[in-house]
Amino acid sequence: MHVYLLTIHTYSHAYAHTHIHATIIMDQKLFRYFSSLREEAEAAQRGASSSSSSSDISEIIRDIADLCEDLITDEDISLALAMVFDPATGIFDVIQRLMLNRERSVQKGRESCLVFVADFVRKSNVRVALYVPFIKV
């Protein structure tokens, strides 16, 4: 009986350690993706965009969507929600930066952002309720 309990404890400790490590990696990746996304949006805002800007924005959005697709735990989902909907650095800050640029390539990037938001909200379901004020704006 004691050996069985020790095995369970050891397994759950190893799982917890692995999960914490995976959460940190996910957090770092999401932070890097949003930093890159903001850099692309700032370049578009300055008018330094090119046709590759749209594909860069769309590619980064795909990376973010792929990362968010694999979220399992409530902790990971909550962390992703907080980063995606952060008013200062999240997706709506990026969309806002892209709003005034009327170049077709930038509009495609903005469209990718909006499609991501719609899909992410649909998949996040009830958890997104805290961020509704940011979504309504």
On whether the CB atoms of residues 23 and 79 are closer than 8 A, the answer is yes
State how far the alpha carbon of 19 is from the alpha carbons of 35, 72, 76, 79, 112, in Å: 24, 10, 10, 14, 30
pTM score: 0.73
> pLDDT for 79-134, tens place per residue?
888 899 898 999 999 999 888 888 888 889 899 999 999 898 888 776 666 666 66
How far is residue 30's CA from residue 23's CA, in Å, rounded to a whole number? Answer: 10
| Look-up of token digits 């399992």 | 72
pLDDT digits (tens, 9 = 90+) for 2-36: 444 444 444 444 444 444 556 678 889 999 999 99
Side-chain-side CA neighbours of 113 within 13 Å: the count stands at 28
Predicted pLDDT at 65? 94
- Answer whether 117's CB lies under 8 Å from 135's CB: yes
* Between 137 and 100, residue with greater pLDDT: 100
User: pLDDT, tens digit, for every residue of 42-72?
Assistant: 888 887 655 556 678 999 999 999 998 888 7
Contacting residues for 121 by C-beta, under 8 A, at least 6 apart: 128, 135
What pLDDT score was predicted for residue 106?
Answer: 86
